Amino acid sequence: MTTTPWQTEERRIYLRDIYFLIFIVILSIGLAELFLVGEDAEPVDRILSYLMVFVPLGAINLLAHYYYRNRRIRATGTLRTSLRYRLSLAFMVVAIIPSIPIFLISSNVAEHLVGAFFEVDVRDAIDRSQKIIRETHIAESHPEYKDSIKKIDRVGVSLDNREQWKERIPARIRMGLGLIFLFMICASLVGAVWLASSISTPIVTIAAATREVTDGRLDTRIEMEAEGELGILIDSFNQMTVELQSLRTRLLHSQRVAAWQEVAKRLAHEIKNPLTPIQLSADRMVRRLERPEKGDLQQIVSSGARTIREQVQILKTMVEEFADFARMPEPRPVLQSLDTIAGEIGALYQSVPGVKMEIRLAGNLPDIELDKNMVVGMINNLVKNAIEAIAAKPDEPGRIVLSTALHTQAGRKFVMLRVEDSGPGIDEGMRDRVFEPYYSTKGEHGSGLGLALVERTVLDHNARITVSRSALGGAEFRILFPIPMEGRKS
């Protein structure tokens, strides 16, 4: 399975978290030894002291990482998981903190039970046993007498060591309980991290896959095994992308056929316009050639030829534009700065009469994959449209703003290109049609292919374009270029 950039970064963060955990353990031991543990403290007391410091410090560490990670996700839009911090913290609160008083209670109960056992006074019973044996008048040389005395003496020797055992047994019991408790805590932490990872990794993998689908890569599949609902979700996602890919293929075919039908219809309509004056001029010339006696032959032929030449030039221009639109080259994007391209194009229009050109570049944009020739043509089209729109309001000073910026939308980062003008704007009802081939808001002065070419370039770069009302009063075209995952600052 191919490792994605976010998974590589996630492994690096795992290592960082382990280093933090080791540091917290060392810090907890140091603080406990400095403030809580005395010189004569038992090992179990040391373990408990270490845990009393580690639990709050570990919880604070998890909380800090959780809030820091969420802030970075919001700030950068990168795919990361903060769920495991929350799950690990929940396990620490649910499993570890309640177990501390249980450990203290069980340790104290064990100590009291052992203490109560050793508090029973059996010395008096032994002395009375010896007295009874002597009063039975059994001869001291009798075997039973000797055996009884030896047994009682052995019990007495054991009782002499009683005080030592009274101290050792509770300590060993508490030590055993402490080690069991420490093992349970370690097992709980490992289990929490494993469970959190098993839940968060599929979730973030699905999020990464949905982002790829949003970018247009419908062949995305999740090659991951998961149990329960997450497994069903992964299977459903893979099935969804298969269906989407099939639907897009059929939709693109339908749209392509409909688009070319519309283009052919509009082109035929546009060609009819110059054909009419051509035919009329030719007919007039033929009629005058058939009846030269009416005179003015040279003037009529000259006028007709000029009209035919002008209309043929219109046809030629129209056919060339159509050919350019039909055979746009495949994009060849390379990583480069949109600021550089926008700055170069904006500088060319600084001296246009009657137009104040403002260039506002972000300056901190990451490089993105662009075909420079196509993007230059796109910006030229948008700026020329803005200049022509401003010309429709000759009584007012014209302004055009060409700007770039970082833009966040739905948790994703984009590089935004914006072209605004102070012209009359585009009516809201017409905004959905401005990108249609041969649809123009300029009447006979527009070919209707400029914005169609702009949209073609936008789609070839897997970008998005919207048109709206500008704060300057005219139209605003906004293009969002996706930032590659590797190019995001984490």
Q: What is the DSSP string of 238-271?
A: HHHHHHHHHHHHHHHHHHHHHHHHHHHHHHHHHH
Query: What pLDDT is stored for residue 258 in this prediction?
Result: 67
Query: What pLDDT is stored for residue 190 in this prediction?
Result: 77
Nearest to 100 by CA among 165, 184, 7, 5: 184
How many whole angstroms separate alpha carbon 326 and alpha carbon 259? 11
How many whole angstroms separate alpha carbon 163 and alpha carbon 152? 18
Pairing state between β 355-360 and 398-409: parallel
- In single-letter form, the type of residue at position 389 comes to A
Length of the chain: 490
> Distance of alpha carbon 42 from its chain centroid, rounded?
50
How many whole angstroms separate alpha carbon 353 and alpha carbon 344? 19
Q: Which domains does the chain have, with CATH numbers?
A: 5-214 (no CATH), 252-326 (1.10.287), 334-487 (3.30.565.10)
The pLDDT tens digits along the chain (490 residues) read: 556 666 677 777 778 878 888 898 899 889 988 888 877 777 767 777 887 788 788 778 877 877 887 777 666 656 566 666 777 777 767 766 677 677 667 666 766 666 665 555 555 655 666 566 555 545 455 556 556 555 555 555 455 555 555 556 666 766 777 677 777 777 777 777 787 777 777 887 887 788 778 777 778 888 877 777 778 888 888 888 888 877 877 776 676 666 666 667 767 767 777 888 888 888 888 887 887 777 677 888 888 888 888 888 888 877 776 766 666 667 888 999 999 999 999 998 888 888 899 999 998 899 999 999 889 989 999 999 899 888 877 777 789 999 999 988 766 789 999 999 998 888 887 877 787 766 665 554 445 667 878 888 888 888 889 999 998 889 999 999 988 765 444 4
Query: What pLDDT is stored for residue 370 in this prediction?
Result: 93
Instruction: Find out whether 470 and 299 touch, Cβ atoms under 8 Å.
Output: no
Instruction: Find out whether 366 and 336 touch, Cβ atoms under 8 Å.
Output: no
How many whole angstroms separate alpha carbon 355 and alpha carbon 360? 16
Query: What pLDDT is stored for residue 445 in this prediction?
Result: 47
How many whole angstroms separate alpha carbon 192 and alpha carbon 88? 5
3-state secondary structure 421-488: ECCCCCCHHHCCCCCCCCCCCCHHHCCCCHHHHHHHHHHHCCCEEEEEECCCCCEEEEEEEECCHHHC
Question: What are the DSSP E strand ranges found in 361-411?
Answer: 368-370, 398-409
The model's pLDDT over 389-432, given as tens digits with 9 standing for 90+, comes to: 888 777 777 899 999 999 887 667 899 999 999 988 888 878 77
Query: What pLDDT is stored for residue 139 in this prediction?
Result: 47
How many whole angstroms separate alpha carbon 174 and alpha carbon 187? 20
